[in-house]
Amino acid sequence: MFPFVNPYPNGLKQVLYKLLGDNKYVSHTKAVDQICDPIISEEKYKELGALLVAVYEAGFLRAIEEHQTILNQKGLKATIVKQKQNIPVAPIFPQEKSG
C-alpha cells in the first residue's frame, strides 16, 4: 500500500521556486514550508495560487510605474505595449489530475 502524499504543497513550492530562483528560494525555505504545507484542498491551493499571482503582478506593475516615473523625470517616455502575437505559455498552476 502506498502512503498518501499531499500534492498541493509541492505544486506551490515549484511555482515559488520558479518565481524566486534558487538563491532566494533557499533562503526562505522555512517560510515556504510553513505557508505551503498546510494546503490540503484544491480550493485552498487555488486561493493561495491566486494570491501569489496577485503579489507577483502587483510587484511587476509597481516596478514598471517606478521606472516610468524615473524615465519621465529624465525627459524620456516609456510605453508598455501588449504583445501582438500569441506565444504558448505553460500555466503557472497546471490542472492536476487525480486518480
Q: Is the pLDDT of residue 29 over 50?
A: yes
Looking at the predicted structure, is the pLDDT value of residue 78 above 70?
A: yes
Which of 9, 7, 5, 4 lies closest to 32 in space, CA to CA? 9
Q: Is 58 helix (H, G, I), strand (E, B) or coil?
A: helix
Backbone angles phi, psi at 15, to 5 degrees: -65, -45
pLDDT over threshold 80, residue 9: yes
pLDDT at position 94 is 62
